[in-house]
Amino acid sequence: MLFQHTIKRPVTFGGIGLHSGEDVWMTLLPAPAGTGIIFRVARPGERREEIRAVSGNVGETAYATTLVGGGTKIQTVEHLLAAFAGLGVDNAYVELTGAEAPIMDGSARPFVDALRAAGLQALSARRRYIKVVRPVEAHEGGKSVSLLPSPVPRITCRIDFSHPLIMDQEISIDLDAASFERELAGARTFGFLRDIEMLEKAGLAKGASLDNAVVVGEEHILNPGGLRWPDEFVRHKALDLIGDLSLAGMPLIAHAVADKPGHGLNKLLVRKLLSEKDSWIVLEGEPMLSEANLAAAV
């Protein structure tokens, strides 16, 4: 994609917030080149607040990625951001009537469908990419996430849960719009039945149901339709990672490798990437460089 993209026309839909349990309406609108993704919270009778979807505005990361700014916070933005990133939408306004993006079915698929319905529009400005030229890593206990040099965007994600219905899972794919839609967009968020009481005491998951999350019991999946893939769990973790990495502010040309990732660790990786300026270069328009040109650029 040589040029930045937005959507052709507004699209509006509603749903429930996974953690707040509140009904919320969301409208996606076109935005000019260089805007990025801007969230707007517009409650009746209140001043509209705007928050840019960038790493510096990430706040809480417990069970979701939250953007904060101007006294406002917006929870659970990662699935929508993954849809934008997966389809190559660089610029858009996101207007919300509440402080949490709707969870929809727990995946990015409804957002992808909404963006496809709105249509994508190429803009006149060339797209800018962050190309990783030296490894960047973040660690937390036995968990790790890293960005490695790669000629194309790629993601490898591994998880290891001590639960017989999940255990070890891994997925590794080259990323483009087609592979994102086919392999990752439909993977739903998941939780354990044993954790419900703990989440309720923490004031979380007020809107969770079998319609918007995979619920894992001790011996079986509670959702009547079961899983969409046998490894839906690791696919969803990869989806979350794509959404969180988009907060770098530009699409990445790198191999993202994650071992038991989470929103907090993903946030740390993006901030390390942006601070380690010798680990990347910015490309405009043409995302691929020959090895000779790359050596000259570094």
Q: Which of 5, 19, 255, 263 is catalytic?
A: 263
Instruction: Sort 157 into a burial class: Cβ within 10 Å, 0-12 / 13-18 / 19+.
Output: buried
Report the distance separating Cα 3 and Cα 14, nearest Å: 30
What does each C-alpha distance from 87 to 33, 119, 173, 193 come to in angstroms? 16, 11, 16, 33
Residue 263 annotated in active site: yes
Question: Residue 172: CB partners within 8 Å, gap ≥ 6?
Answer: 154, 155, 156, 157
- Which contacts of 116-119 are long-range, i.e. CB under 8 A and separated by 24 or more positions? 116/87, 117/11, 118/7, 118/8, 118/9, 118/10, 118/11, 118/28, 119/7, 119/8, 119/9
Catalytic residues: 263
